[in-house]
Amino acid sequence: MQQVTLARRAYFSAGRRLWHPGWSEERNREAFGKLASPHGHDYVLDVFYGGGIDDDNGMIVNITELKPVIAQAVQQLAGRFLDCEVDYFSTRRPTVENIVNFLWSQLPQHMGTGYLTRLCLQETNRVWVNKTKDAMQVTRSYEFAAAHRLHAPQLSAEQNQELYDKCNNLYGHGHNYGLEVTVRGEPDTETGSIIPFAELDRIVEAEVFEHYDHKHLNEDCPEFTAIIPTSENLARVIFDRLQTRLQEAGYQLSKIGLHETQKNYFEVEA
Ligand SMILES: [Zn+2]
């Protein structure tokens, strides 16, 4: 039977701090940065059930039955300070990864003809986690600005003009690139994170910002003398750089997404 997936969204707010009770203040500040101080987020949760359509009622899961089930899971967190008020987080850091694991454990694996296939929890517009039965992935988004000119040296000026149009402008043009970096893995038992954000930020700073932020890709970046700095090529080059560095540090890059404009998006997967 063909599988159909249904998604239902829920919102909640919660307070927390990321703090390991067995560590010194200094170590906590180093590991968690500003997140070691009490703060809160407005979370957005998407719940996905997939299955075959029930011939009798035309549904996978009756949303009228699903609504209170999701509410019951979310209400255990909503409006609370997670570290102090939710038992689950007395021994675990209340990271977005561990909050997803908690919600997964509270939702029925099977409802109607459907199975819980995925949870997506957005912590801010820069951070979200996807969990399926087999894998968890955290995504963090960044922004940088760069100039480029699309020009193929083997073609004539007229052919370049025809092929690339405005993007062939002699002195180049620029974009605010949006970069989404997705790392796959299980949350560490001590930090509660697949990868500590401070560490990912350092890697993105060294491998992306230092090379491309406020640069002219054609003029300043040797990797784009032999290849044309289209966003396809930029995405591939960024993926390779991040994959190498993350692998060395013991992490698994799952994919990157590159927004060239609000309308153009590129993705490279492992
Ligand atoms: Zn462009």
CATH number at residue 178: 3.30.479.10
251 in the same domain as 148:
yes
84 assigned to active site: no
221 assigned to active site: no
147 in the same domain as 120:
no
Q: Given this model, what pLDDT does residue 17 score? A: 96
Q: Given this model, what pLDDT does residue 108 score? A: 97
Ligand 1 centroid to residue 217 C-alpha, Å: 11
125 in the same domain as 201:
no
205 assigned to active site: no
The catalytic residue among 20, 85, 167, 199 is: 167
Number of Cβ within a 10 Å radius of residue 223: 15
The catalytic residue among 97, 123, 207, 260 is: 260
**Residue 175 CA: distances (Å) to CA of 144, 169, 262:** 8, 14, 10
Ligand 1 centroid to residue 208 C-alpha, Å: 17
Ligand 1 centroid to residue 82 C-alpha, Å: 44
107 in the same domain as 143:
no
Q: Which of 132, 159, 179 is the last residue of a domain?
A: 132
Residues of the chain with confidence (pLDDT) below 70: none
Ligand 1 centroid to residue 151 C-alpha, Å: 11
Domains in the chain, number: 2
Strand pairing report for 39-51 and 215-216? unpaired
Q: Which of 78, 103, 132 is the last residue of a domain?
A: 132
Domain of 243 in residue numbering reads as 138-269
Q: Given this model, what pLDDT does residue 2 score? A: 86
**Residue 77 CA: distances (Å) to CA of 72, 83, 123, 211:** 10, 10, 13, 41
pLDDT in tens, 19-76: 999 999 999 998 898 999 999 999 999 999 999 999 999 999 999 999 999 999 999 9
The catalytic residue among 210, 214, 219, 267 is: 214
**Residue 106 CA: distances (Å) to CA of 74, 77, 101, 137:** 9, 11, 9, 19
Q: Given this model, what pLDDT does residue 26 score? A: 96
118 in the same domain as 22:
yes
- CA torsion sign, 82 to 193 to 132 to 59? positive
Give this prediction's pTM.
0.94
- Mean pLDDT across the chain, nearest whole number? 96
Ligand 1 centroid to residue 147 C-alpha, Å: 7
Q: Which of 72, 101, 132 is the last residue of a domain?
A: 132
